[in-house]
């Protein structure tokens, strides 16, 4: 075997085609590596940004029941402003999402334990694609805030807040009365009195007076105010808090 050519034996040049193929493979390999790195960086940045937005600004929930018909349909997806009530006060008429104050949702249901399912749910929820914990929350309309006295009902069958009757037909499901259950409550400090728009089929503040919460929802349990229906597209709309319904209500301190 010869380690090098003889002095009088010419060195054979490499074939140009073979050299070009090697260069192309190197370029292609580097291109795909660079592409994969860029893709990972973009996805990681998007995930971090989405987590920050979800944690501090807005969050998506789906509607699992018909307690807010006709305002919200079953399986609608809503976007919630989480700066309420931390930075912005909750107002009468707001549609709010809150955690179960205790006993409102009945017996706890089993959550998925399969690691793959849990991981996929977490990943998709981080991007706002799914909301796996929606069934652990409730969505209702605020009727009374701290200090309000809320009574059902006056001689005309209307709910009164601080002595002023409110006409709610702009959001109550058609054909339903404001309430078939009588109540007379004063909303304690840092709390809310909430009702579903589908008054004939809503397990709201009226039904939980026997619980430790007495039917009130502490502001500490509020995730935020729902402000838009984002999906399905045909149901898209901004959620109104109907200020005209509550405009004549005096301050509870008066």
Least confident of 12-21, 157-166, 207-216, 229-238: 12-21
Query: Which sequence positions are flagged as catalytic?
Result: 67, 140
Report yes or no on whether pTM surpasses 0.75. Answer: no
**Angle, CA of 2, 5 and 11, to the nearest 5°:** 140
Q: Determine the Cα–Cα distance for residues 162 and 151; give it in Å rounded to an integer.
A: 8
Label residue 58 by pLDDT band (50, 70, 90).
confident
- CB under 8 Å, gap of 24 or more: what pairs does 70-76 form? 70/173, 70/174, 70/197, 70/198, 71/95, 71/141, 71/171, 71/197, 71/239, 72/139, 72/197, 72/229, 73/235, 75/232, 76/229, 76/231, 76/232, 76/235
pLDDT at 113 over 70: no
The answer to whether 153 and 159 have CB atoms below 8 angstroms apart is yes
In this predicted structure, the answer to whether residue 112 has a pLDDT above a threshold of 70 is no
pLDDT at 73 over 70: yes
């Amino acid at each position: 075997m010869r380690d090098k050519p003889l002095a009088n034996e010419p060195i054979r040049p490499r074939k140009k085609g073979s050299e070009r193929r090697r260069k192309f493979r190197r370029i292609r390999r580097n291109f795909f590596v660079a592409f994969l790195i860029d893709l990972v960086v973009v996805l990681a940045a998007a995930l971090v940004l989405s987590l920050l937005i979800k944690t501090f600004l807005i969050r998506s929930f789906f509607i699992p029941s018909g307690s807010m018909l006709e305002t919200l349909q079953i399986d609608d997806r809503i976007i919630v402003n989480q700066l309420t009530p931390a930075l912005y006060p909750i107002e009468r008429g707001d549609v709010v999402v809150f955690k179960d104050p205790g006993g409102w949702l009945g017996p706890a249901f089993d959550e998925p334990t399969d690691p793959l399912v849990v991981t996929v749910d977490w990943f998709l929820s981080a991007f706002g694609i799914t909301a796996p914990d929606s069934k652990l929350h409730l969505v209702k309309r605020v009727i009374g805030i701290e200090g309000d006295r809320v009574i059902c009902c006056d001689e005309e069958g209307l709910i009164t807040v601080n002595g002023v009757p409110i006409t709610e037909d702009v959001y109550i499901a058609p054909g339903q009365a404001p309430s078939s259950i009588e109540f007379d409550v004063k909303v304690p400090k840092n709390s809310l009195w909430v009702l579903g728009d589908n008054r004939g089929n809503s397990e709201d503040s009226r039904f939980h007076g026997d619980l430790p919460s007495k039917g009130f929802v502490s502001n500490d349990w509020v995730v935020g105010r729902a402000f838009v229906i984002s999906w399905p597209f045909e149901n898209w709309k901004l959620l109104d808090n109907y200020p005209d319904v509550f405009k004549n209500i005096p301050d509870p301190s008066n």
